[in-house]
């Protein structure tokens, strides 16, 4: 098993998207990249902790590659927006890839560069690519939030 961590706006829809990918064994939503230990949802929503809402993905590299996960990440949000996605705004909604190995870092940077050169977006890619610090799992009621409510998505592409 391997781990990948992505921030692409509100974590509910991001998690639901990754859970559909064959080879993804589990997901959990949480907070990463800030200054506070064990933040709560209410604290992260103040936009003062520095954390991003993110999804930690456990996957089987024999069934799905990290590059395939990156493609899902890029396809399911607007990586040109700074500190927002759709109607949600604040640092907690930033676009970021938190890498867990030098190989993931290289793959993420190469994918970002390729996407930037593709002409798909008229603005520069704002996605941060940083080493994964400690990930703090969100409260239980956030885990598989959409699935628990019978919803497929809340994404705004």
User: 2-148 domain in CATH 3.30.1060.10?
Assistant: yes
Q: Tell whether the model's pLDDT for residue 144 goes beyond 90.
A: no
Among candidate residues 2, 7, 8, 10, the one labeled active-site is 10
Query: Which residue is it, tokens 């098993």?
Result: 1
Question: Does the annotation mark 154 as catalytic?
Answer: no
Residues recorded for the chain: 157
Which pLDDT score, from 0 to 100, does residue 157 have?
Answer: 45
Convert the pLDDT of each residue in 78-92 to its tens digit.
999 999 888 888 899
Mean pLDDT score of the chain: 92
Provide the pLDDT confidence category of residue 145 given band limits of 50, 70 and 90. Answer: low
The secondary structure of the chain, three-state, reads: CEEEEEEECCHHHHHHHHHCCCCEEEEEEEEECCCCCCCCHHHHCCCCCCCEEEEEEEECCCCCCHHHHHHHHHHCCCCCCCCEECCEECHHHCEEEEECCHHHHHHHHHHHHHHHHCCCCCCCCCCEEEECCCEEECCHHHCCHHHHCCCCCCCCC
- Where do the structural domains in the chain lie, given as residue ranges? 2-148
């Amino acid at each position: 098993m391997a781990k990948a961590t992505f921030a692409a706006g509100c974590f509910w829809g991001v998690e639901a998207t990754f859970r559909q990918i064959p080879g993804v064994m589990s997901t959990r939503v949480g907070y990463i990249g800030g200054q506070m230990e064990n933040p709560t949802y209410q604290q992260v929503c103040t936009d003062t902790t520095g954390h991003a809402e993110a999804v930690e993905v456990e996957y089987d590299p024999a069934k799905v590659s990290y590059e395939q996960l990156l493609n899902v990440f890029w396809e399911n949000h607007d990586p040109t927006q700074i500190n927002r996605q759709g109607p949600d705004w604040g640092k907690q909604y930033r676009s970021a890839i938190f890498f867990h190995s030098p190989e993931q870092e290289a793959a993420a940077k190469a994918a970002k560069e390729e996407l930037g050169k593709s002409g798909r977006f008229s603005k520069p890619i704002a996605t941060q690519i940083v080493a994964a610090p400690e990930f703090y799992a969100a409260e239980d009621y956030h885990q598989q939030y959409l699935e628990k409510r019978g919803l497929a998505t809340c994404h705004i592409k």
